[in-house]
Structure 1
Amino acid sequence: MVEFVLRVAGVLVAFLVAPLVVGQAEHKVMAHMQSRLGPMYAGGFHGWAQLVADGVKFVQKESVTPAAADKRVFEWAPVVAILPYMAAMAAIPLSPALVGAHLDSGLFFVLAVMSVGVLGSLMAGWASGNKYSLLGGLRVAAQLMSYELPFVLSAASVAVAAGTLSLTGIVDQWNPWWLLWQLPALVVFFIAGLAELQRPPFDMPVADSEVIFGPYTEYTGLRFALFLLAEYAGIVVLAGLVTVLFLGGWSGPGPDSIGWIWSVLKIAAVSFLVIWVRVAFPRLRADQLQKLAWQGLVPVALIQLALTGIGVVVFH
């Protein structure tokens, strides 16, 4: 019982801290990359408390529900959007001992719960009583349906290579040659993951120059903040999956007792790459976005999966 409580508490702390750290890093990294430093005074050194100040601002704002909205669905949408990432974080191991829940089918579980997040966006768009919100919600659904296939296929390639769906078991099978062998799957998985999170350059459904802010247009206050927190939590989950599936998780120099440090450093590096992509690449048009998924990523993922299966049969 005590161990269960500690695991739950650890997952809650990680869920509350890690997305905020990524959000703060995004603000500061983008500011320096684009030579626009922005607020630098909150908290003193380098404006480290600006994100906290933003959070206090969101809490103080009134949460308005439009008169034409479906009130109950409108209010529950942010919760539905954020809970899947909390569940996913519980199954991603930092080390064999540091994991919220040991699951034999951990990869299947994480991919399944991540796909539930789209329901939050659909609920928000449908229930807002706003045609632009509805259009944004439908665009989110279309995008996530397109990129879910290469996302799952590239992860399946890793599962076939490792011979297990356990995230801990996949790390145990990892070796330095793995990165070269599964490099196409890594590229597809990372790009599809960005699209799943609606991160730039795949943020067309929520871009202000397209349909205001997509399905989240009518949200204010703490509910709006929950959608933002879900995005940063999604970055942590994506970085954690890339680390476990392709980068060897806690594998690294030194004793096993510091393996979790390697996991954290790799997650931080992948999160930085997500932020860098936002700064470096322009937004795709809707037709370009769909073409990349169906004519680019899906064929590469299928070929990689087939080659992995052949390799496993021939060499094992």
Structure 2
Amino acid sequence: MQEWFQSLFAQTLGMGALGSDIGLVVAIVVKIVIILIPLILTVAYLTYFERKVIGFMQLRVGPNVTGPWGLIQPFADVLKLLFKEVTRPSASNRYLFYIGPMLSLAPSFAAWAVIPFNDTWVLTNIDAGLLYILMITSLSVYGVIIAGWASNSKYAMLGAMRASAQTISYEIAMSAALVCVMMVSGSLNFKEIVAAQATGIAGGSIFSWNWFTLFPVFLVYLISAVAETNRAPFDVAEGESEIVAGHHVEYSGFAFALFFLAEYIFMILVGALTALLFLGGWLSPFPQSWGVIGAPSAVWMFGKMAFVLYGYLWIRATFPRYRYDQIMRLGWKVLIPVGFAAIVFYGAWMASPLSLWK
């Protein structure tokens, strides 16, 4: 695509070197639009399926009135939020109050710049993709803290403190899990991590993927990912019975919608990362000799993302909320020690003659 746009502006339109630069910019903008529009639509229908799944598990119907089978319900929700008044507490900080939601949303979009969907579908293929993801997702904490402080509400501030402490704590455990993936893959590049899972001890089958060879690390990562996104049962930052809605409590209308959008985009991002790092990415679970269904494809990538997202919804409908002290204890006394022990264990295993990763 990039070469086509550069050729169009430089040669076909006769703009020379300037046309090549313009073509590069246009290609990047088109790629961004191709990623963002489906992403926003996915967020809309993820909320629909979440309500349907939870309704099914609670013996309810869920949305079924707005449009056929309730399929237009997400757009009705968007219109409601867009036309609601954005109110601001009189004692809040005028500028930081609005910067908070934007600072939470921006990293969730920026993270998708390095996520590949197959060998060719990626906005930017950089060697330090995994490091970039860790860095960019960490920035969302600032949006939460700023929103809580700028609201000038004790409930908002308490929720922001809880959310930031929880995110930072579980980020350590998640980073330890990702270090193990980097060690066995020998790379921080997502394409190379997927390629490493294609040639493993089981000849590229599902037992060569990292979920099997790094199973304890996989569990640490999954639990940390749910806690990182402040989803149930780790959603104490907005525990309704204690602090109403946490750092969201003073937000309404479009400003609240930005927080809502950021949360669900991070959920989808976790689904993509789980598929890439542990579930073989776009690799098929079937042998390549099986023809089309055995060939690597973006369809497998999307299917694995959907599987992980269903797990999110299943967990929310099943487990009660933890207390804040239980969450911090699980992070600091269980997951972080297990994560660092896994680094030592897999490092020693790789250095031994019995190593599975040659």
TM-score, scaled relative to structure 2: 0.85
Match of 1:134 in 2: 157
Matched length: 315
Match of 1:313 in 2: 351
Match of 2:61 in 1: 37
For 2:119 and 2:37, locate their aligned partners in 1 and report how far apart those are by CA, in whole Å: 19
Quick check: 1:10–1:100 contact (8 Å CA) kept in 2?
no
Bigger shift: residues 177-186 or 209-218:
177-186
For 1:166 and 1:261, locate their aligned partners in 2 and report how far apart those are by CA, in whole Å: 21
Q: Tell me which of 157, 162, 170 is aligned to 1:147.
A: 170
**What pairs with 1:9-48 in structure 2 (closer than 5 Å)?**
9-44=33-68, 46-48=69-71
Offset at residue 116 of structure 1 (A): 0.8
For 1:103 and 1:23, locate their aligned partners in 2 and report how far apart those are by CA, in whole Å: 32
Offset at residue 86 of structure 1 (A): 0.7
Amino acid at match of 1:240: A
Quick check: 2:82–2:254 contact (8 Å CA) kept in 1?
yes
Amino acid at match of 1:272: Y
Bigger shift: residues 5-14 or 80-89:
5-14
Q: Tell me which of 238, 248, 251 is aligned to 2:283.
A: 251
Q: Tell me which of 244, 254, 259 is aligned to 1:227.
A: 259
5+ residue gaps, structure 1, are none
1:76 and 2:99 correspond: yes
Q: Tell me which of 180, 190, 201 is aligned to 2:212.
A: 180
Quick check: 1:137–1:215 contact (8 Å CA) kept in 2?
yes
Match of 1:297 in 2: 335
Cα offsets for 1:230-254 (capped at 9, x unmatched): 1110110001100000000000045
Offset at residue 257 of structure 1 (A): 7.1
Cα offsets for 1:118-137 (capped at 9, x unmatched): 11111110000111111111
Bigger shift: residues 100-109 or 3-12:
3-12
Quick check: 1:70–1:128 contact (8 Å CA) kept in 2?
yes
**What pairs with 1:78-157 in structure 2 (closer than 5 Å)?**
78-157=101-180
Offset at residue 15 of structure 1 (A): 2.8
Offset at residue 107 of structure 1 (A): 0.5
1:7 and 2:20 correspond: no
5+ residue gaps, structure 2, are 1-23, 198-203
Match of 1:212 in 2: 244
Cα offsets for 1:136-189 (capped at 9, x unmatched): 111111111211100111011101110000011100001433322111111111
Offset at residue 225 of structure 1 (A): 1.0
Offset at residue 211 of structure 1 (A): 0.5
Higher-Rg structure is 2
For 2:63 and 2:48, locate their aligned partners in 1 and report how far apart those are by CA, in whole Å: 12
Quick check: 1:93–1:99 contact (8 Å CA) kept in 2?
yes
- Note closer, same or farther for the CA distance 1:41–1:251 as it changes in structure 2 (3 Å cut): same
- Note closer, same or farther for the CA distance 1:302–1:258 as it changes in structure 2 (3 Å cut): closer
Cα offsets for 1:29-63 (capped at 9, x unmatched): 1111111223311112x201111101100001000
Match of 1:275 in 2: 313
Quick check: 1:154–1:301 contact (8 Å CA) kept in 2?
yes
Q: How large is the RMSD of aligned CA atoms in angstroms?
A: 1.4
Offset at residue 258 of structure 1 (A): 5.7
Cα offsets for 1:197-241 (capped at 9, x unmatched): 100000011111120100110000011111111111011000110
Q: Tell me which of 271, 288, 307 is aligned to 1:239.
A: 271
State the secondary structure of the residue aligned to 2:219. helix
Offset at residue 68 of structure 1 (A): 0.6
State the secondary structure of the residue aligned to 1:218. coil
1:166 and 2:189 correspond: yes
Amino acid at match of 2:178: A
Offset at residue 18 of structure 1 (A): 2.2
Quick check: 2:56–2:62 contact (8 Å CA) kept in 1?
no
Match of 1:202 in 2: 234
For 1:81 and 1:63, locate their aligned partners in 2 and report how far apart those are by CA, in whole Å: 17
Report percent identity of matched pairs: 34
Quick check: 1:15–1:89 contact (8 Å CA) kept in 2?
no
Amino acid at match of 2:347: G
Quick check: 2:283–2:296 contact (8 Å CA) kept in 1?
no
